[in-house]
Amino acid sequence: MQILKTQLEPNGATLTGFIYEPSVTLPESTAKPAVLVFPGGAYRHCVDKEGDPIAMAYAAKGFNAFVLRYSVTGDYTPGCPTKPEEEVFDCALTDAKSAMRYLREHAEELHIDPSRIATVGFSAGANLSATLNIRTEEKASAMILGYGAFTTDRNIGNVKTLPLLDQVDQTTPPAFLFATQPDATVPVSNTLQMAVALHEAGVPMESHIFVTGDHGLALANHTTGDENPDVEKWLDMSVAFLRHIWSQKKLLWGDLQDKKPDLDTRCDILSANRRAHEIIAKYFPEKAEMLTANPFFSYISFRRFAFLLQLDQEKVKQVEEELKALD
């Protein structure tokens, strides 16, 4: 395994990577799925136990994993640039965008699949992850949000963050959320409200609220301390979620069918078929590019897509007739 460490422009944030060397004995070794980890720390520092141990745990599951040590206000986290409180959030968000661009631009040499990059954030890092994926164009293809701070009625410490809940829409990537009910630092209502916002926007999501455990459990095992066998399950659950979301073999509703395109064909397959895409663009020009803009839409049928977006049913029927007429 190669360990990479690089500094990102413009702030000098540190990106550390744990990267499998290509091997004929390893699956997907030249284009692995990837995770980009944002540790928590209230934008004052980056908590070590939510950084490298998280990345190495995902690496053990077959991911190439990266940790971003982003801009913070404190001066006791190696690799993190320090910024004034009034600047730190904007700088941290710039760091997150720079990290995502770096992974995509260097995907070949990092041996990762640029279409399968998930952000993994904890507490303030979950806030940063959600902000990247909800408020910017540098979205990941999925996000894992651990005991995150999302509500609009509070800052994180003295750091002013952006509203998130009312900004969730159909372009927000699929999300896996987890938290603990007794969390005394970030109320569990943050996770519950984010889950509702995702659900109402039609974004695929999975949410787990564990009945025991305080804030900041990280892996919840002996590696990061605060052992909790129930909460420890979140890692395997999140990996299963990502594999499902990124599966090329199954739809979220029904099996992938190798047949002539119709309304029950998956959206990404229709979009890749030039003639089918032209038919959809003819009747729904403003929606055609959305077929693959969100991984959720990519993996559902056009019939489901039309239902979720409440498309004109007469036009949908015309699309169906023209698809039937294709050779």
| pLDDT tens column, 240-258 | 999 988 875 444 444 444 5
**Calpha distance 247→236 (Å, rounded):** 16
Q: Does 258 reside within a domain?
A: no
Mean pLDDT of the region 118-127? 97
In Å, how far are 213, 217, 269, 291 from 93, measured between CA atoms? 29, 24, 34, 28
Please determine, for residue 154, whether its predicted confidence score (pLDDT) is greater than 80: no
Residues 30 and 176 placed together within one structural domain of the fold? yes
In Å, how far are 64, 138, 200 from 114, measured between CA atoms? 11, 12, 28
| pLDDT tens column, 89-116 | 999 999 999 999 999 999 999 999 998 9
Residues 85 and 132 placed together within one structural domain of the fold? yes
Percent share of the chain, pLDDT over 90: 70
Give the pLDDT score at 254: 41
Give the pLDDT score at 272: 82
Q: Does 212 reside within a domain?
A: yes
Looking at per-residue pLDDT, the higher value among 198 and 259 belongs to 198
Beta carbons of 181 and 209 less than 8 angstroms apart: yes
Mean pLDDT of the region 177-199? 96
Please determine, for residue 138, whether its predicted confidence score (pLDDT) is greater than 70: yes
Beta bridge partners of 266: 301
Please determine, for residue 223, whether its predicted confidence score (pLDDT) is greater than 60: yes
Residues 99 and 18 placed together within one structural domain of the fold? yes
Q: Does 259 reside within a domain?
A: no
Q: Does 113 reside within a domain?
A: yes
Looking at per-residue pLDDT, the higher value among 49 and 261 belongs to 49
Domains held by the chain: number: 2
User: To 10 degrees, what angle do helices 124-135 and 85-105 make?
Assistant: 60
Give the pLDDT score at 252: 45
Looking at per-residue pLDDT, the higher value among 192 and 75 belongs to 192
Give the pLDDT score at 152: 63
User: To 10 degrees, what angle do helices 274-283 and 313-324 make?
Assistant: 150
Please determine, for residue 36, whether its predicted confidence score (pLDDT) is greater than 90: yes
Residues 101 and 229 placed together within one structural domain of the fold? yes
Please determine, for residue 230, whether its predicted confidence score (pLDDT) is greater than 60: yes
- Strand order from edge to edge, sheet including 32-38: 2-8, 13-19, 64-69, 32-38, 112-122, 142-146, 175-180, 205-210
Mean pLDDT of the region 74-97? 92
Could you list the residue range(s) of the whole structural domain that residue 35 is in?
Answer: 2-245
Residues 162 and 293 placed together within one structural domain of the fold? no
Give the pLDDT score at 248: 52
Residues 165 and 306 placed together within one structural domain of the fold? no
Give 259's pLDDT tier (boundaries 50, 70, 90).
Answer: low
Q: How many residues does the chain have?
A: 327
pTM: 0.79
